[in-house]
Structure 1
Amino acid sequence: MPRRSRGVIARAKGAPVELVTIEVPDPGPGEAVVRVLACGVCHTDLHYREGGIGEDFPYLLGHEAAGIVEEVGDGVTQVAPGDYVVLNWRAVCGQCRACARGRPQYCFATHNATQRMTIADGPDAGTALSPALGIGAFTDYTLVAAGQCTTVDPAAAPEVAGLLGCGVMAGLGAAINTGAVGRGDSIAVIGCGGVGMAAVVGARLAGAGTIIAVDVDRRKLDRALELGATHTVDGREVDVVEAVRELTGGHGADVVVDAVGRPETWRQAFYARDLAGTVVLVGVPTPEMRIPDIPLLDVFGRGGALTSSWYGDCLPSRDFPMLIDLYLQGRLPLDAFVTETTGIDGVEAAFERMHGGDVLRSVVVLDREHDGERAGVPA
C-alpha cells in the first residue's frame, strides 16, 4: 500500500518552499522505495525553486541523500531491503551508445522512477510532483529507480555519505575525472562553495603540486587552505588571471575549474590556464547566460580543452564505494563539508544561509519520530 510522507516542495517559481504531505507509491518494476536518513541542501535545489532548471512545478526538492532501501519492485536484483545506499542521479542504462562504447559515465538514457509521487491532501491532492534530479529526497520516503541506489559501507554516517550524491562528487570528479589532474600538476579552482571546495580536496588527493583557490569571500579562502589549497586569490583585490599566472611561473594553471558557472568566471578560467591547458565548467549556468565574447583566434591559438563536467563524470557504482572507503580510512575529509544539520522544516532557512555564504553545506537530518505513514498506519 502507498506510503504517506512529509515532503518539501517548490510550488511556484521563486516562492518559499512548503512542507506538505505526499503520497509515495509502492515500487513498480525496476523501482525502489528508500527511507531517507539525511539529505544535503544543494545549490541545485535552489536553482529548481528559482526556475533556473525547468518549469515543471511543483518540484519535490532534495537529491543529495543517503538512506535505507525499504522495498523493491519486480526485477530488482542490485539492491535489497535493508541496504544502506547513497542516491545518485545517474542510473546508467547499459544500452545507449555511450554505454555500448564503454563510457557509462556519459549515459544518455539514465533511469528514473516511472511512477510519480503526488501531493496527498488539500485542494491539490493527486497533483504529480517532479522530483529534483529524478530523486526528490527532502522527504521521509522517496521512490527512485533501483539503479539510483548505490550501496556503500554503513559505517559512514548518512549526513556525510549523502554528500557524495551530488556536490562533493561533482567537485572531486571535475578535478580528478574530467580535468585529469595528476601528480605535480597545477590547478586553479574559481568559486569555493561546496563544489569548488570538493575540487580542491580532489586535487590534493590526486597529488597536485599547486592548488589555487579563487573566491571573493575571505572565509571561503581560509577554509580552502585548511582543506588543501596551497595558495589563494581574492578576486575583489587582484586580477584573477594575472594572479593565477604569477603563481604558476607566468604560464597559467594546467587545469582551471569554474565552479561558479557565470560568463565572467568562465572567461577568467579560459585565460588563466596554461597553453594546452584544460578548462572545466562544473558550476551550473542559468538559461540566459552566454559564452563571453572571446576571439576565435584565442581559442585556436591556446589549444587544450574546454569541457564541462556532468556529475564529475562519475560512475556511482565505482566511485561512491571507493570514496566512502577513503573517508573511513581518514584520507578524505568529508566531515569538513557539513557546516550544520537541520530538520526537514529548515530548508528555506538553509537557502538563506547559502545565499549569505555562511555554510559549506547544510544537511537535513530526518526525524524518525515523525516518520511517514503507510496507508495511515505508523511505519
Structure 2
Amino acid sequence: MASIEQLTFIKPEQFEWHEIAAPVIQNAGEAIVRPLAVTRCDLDLYMASGMYPMQGPFAFGHEIAGEVVDVGDGVKGFAPGDRVIVPFQISCGTCDNCRRGFTNACAAVEPFAAYGFAPTGDRKWGGGLSDLINVPFADAMLVKIPDGVSITGAAAISDNAVDGYRTVAEPLAKRPGADILIVGGLAQSVGLFSVQAARALGAGRIVYRDYDAGRLAKAKALGAEVIETQYGPDLRAIEEFPIVVEAAGLPDALTFAIRSTQPCGTCSGVFAGMGAKASVPLRSMYMKGITYTIGRVHARTEIDHILDCAHCGTINPDEVISRSVPFSEAVDAMTEPDIKIVFERD
C-alpha cells in the first residue's frame, strides 16, 4: 500500500512527520489533491503554542491550495492538473444548509468537520501539510484558481482572507462608503485582510488599532490610518464608527469595539478568544441598537465573492503574507510569531 508523509500535531510545541496510508478514491464524487501551499491560520499559531488547547494527535494545516491528481468517475468539473483552492470546512453542496449558503454547518458530515483540526466524528479528514488529501465532495468544494491569483494567495483565501472579507462586505453593501474601524490583535491576519477588503470595496476612512508595531506597519502599508492602542477596561471610545471589526480576541478589546460602534451600527467579531466564556455589555448594545455578529465564516460560499476582487487585483492576499517557509521546516516554524506564514512544497 502506498504511503505519504503528514505533519501531525502531538501536543503544544510538538509536531512530528508521520507516515500514513495514502488517500484513495473511494466514492465517485471524490478527488485527491496534492497541497502545494498551506498558509498558517491565525488559530494555528495558538493551537501550536498551547494558548488554544486541542487534544492531539491530529493532522495539521487547513488553509490549502494545490493540484488535483486524481478524480472519481462522478466528478464533472475538475481533472488532474487543475490548480485549486480547498475550503477548510467539509461541505456537500446539496443539503439544506449548504444550499442556503451555510457551508460551515453542512448536514452531511459531523459538526465542525474540517481539515487540520482534532476530529469531531469517526472520520479523520487529514491536514494540508501532507503529500495528498482526499476531497469528498469535489464538485461542490473545490474552486479553480483564476489567472492572476498566486498559489500562496489562493491558500489564504481558503480561510483567513475570506474571513476578513466577509466582516466588511455585507455591512458595506448596506452602507456604501462608510467609515470602518478594525480593532486588531490575536486574529492578526484576519484583521489585516479586513483592511484589504475594506479598501477594495470602497470604504471611507479605514482606521486600524492595535498594540503590535509589526501589524500596525502592515496595516498602514495596506492603506489604513493606524493608531497604536493598548486595550484596557477603562479605554473609552475616541470616536464612533458605523462598521467595526473586532479581530483582537481580547475581552477589553471587545468592550472597546462595542463602545466604538455608532448607534444602529454593526460590529463583527472574528475570534471568540481563548476562554470558554466572554462578557459583552448588553445594556449599552441595547440602548444603542447595535448589531453584533460572531461566528465561523461560511468559507465555500464566500470564496466566490472574494475571488472576483482577487482576480481583478483589488485584493492581493500575498500583501499580508509575511514569510515563506518550505514544508520541510514547518515543525520549527509553526510557533514563530510571524503575522502570516505560508508553507510551500519543497
Q: Deviation string for 1:311-345 (max 9, x for gaps)?
A: 26661562354243133xxx223221222111123
Provide, for residues 36-92 of structure 1, a one-character-per-residue CA deviation record: whole Å limited to 9, x for no partner: 11111222223444383653x311111111111111224222322221101102454
- Residue number in structure 2 paired with 1:292: 279
CA distance in structure 2 between the partners assigned to 1:149 and 1:342 by the alignment? 25
* AA of the residue aligned to 1:266: L
Read off the aligned partner of 1:365 and give its amino acid letter.
E
- CA distance in 2 between counterparts of 1:314 and 1:191 reads 25
Q: Judge conservation of contact 1:60–1:130 (CA < 8 Å) in 2.
A: no
Residues 1:110 and 1:136: Cα distance change in structure 2 (over 3 Å): farther
Residue matched to 2:336 = 353
Aligned ranges for residues 10-21 of structure 1 at < 5 Å? 10-12=9-11, 14-21=12-19
Q: Is 2:263 the counterpart of 1:263?
A: no
Letter in 2 for 1:291: A
Counterpart for residue 21 of structure 2: 23
Deviation for aligned residue 1:278: 1.0
CA distance in 2, matches of 1:130, 1:46: 24
CA contact (8 A) 1:181 1:206 kept: no
Equivalent residue pairs, number: 332
In structure 2, the residue matched to 1:336 is: 319
Take 2:70 and 2:85, find their aligned partners in 1: how far apart are those partners?
15
Counting only pairs closer than 5 Å after superposition, residues 160-179 of structure 1 correspond to structure 2 as 160-177=153-170
Q: Which amino acid in structure 2 is aligned with residue 255 of structure 1?
A: I
Shift of 1:154: 5.0
Is 1:234 the counterpart of 2:220? The answer is no
- 1-side partners of 2:318 and 2:14: how far apart? 29
Q: Which residue of 2 aligns with 1:52?
A: 52
How well do the aligned residues superpose, as a CA RMSD in angstroms? 3.0
2:3–2:20 CA contact under 8 A, matched in 1: yes
> How do 1:79-118 residues align onto structure 2 when only pairs under 5 Å count?
79-99=78-98, 102-104=100-102, 107-109=105-107
- Corresponding residue to 1:282 among 248, 270, 285: 270
SS in 2 for 1:311: coil
Structure 1 contact 181–208 (Cα < 8 Å) conserved: no
Structure 2: distance between partners of 1:129 and 1:40: 26
Identify which of 195, 200, 221 aligns with 1:200. Answer: 195
Cα separation, partners in 2 of 1:276 and 1:366, compared to 1, 3 Å: same
Which amino acid is 1:336 matched to? E
Measured at CA, do residues 207 and 61 of structure 1 come closer, stay the same or move farther in structure 2, by a change above 3 Å? same
Aligned match of 1:363? 342
Residues 177 and 313, structure 1, Cα contact 8 Å, conserved in 2: no
Q: Is the 8 A contact 1:194 1:360 kept in 2?
A: yes
Change (3 A) 1:52 1:232: same
Structure 1 or 2, whichever has the larger Rg, is 1
Paired AA for residue 194 in structure 1: S
Amino acid aligned to 1:227: L
Residue 44 and residue 36 in structure 1: after superposition, are their counterparts in 2 closer, same or farther (change >3 A)? same
* Identical-pair percentage: 23
Offset at residue 186 of structure 1 (A)? 1.5
| Matched position secondary structure for 1:34 | strand
Measure the CA separation in 2 of the matches of 1:183 and 1:85: 32
Q: Which runs of 5+ in 2 are unaligned?
A: 116-120
Report the AA paired with residue 201 of structure 1: Q
Residue ranges of structure 1 left out of the alignment (5+ in a row)? 118-127, 246-251, 368-379
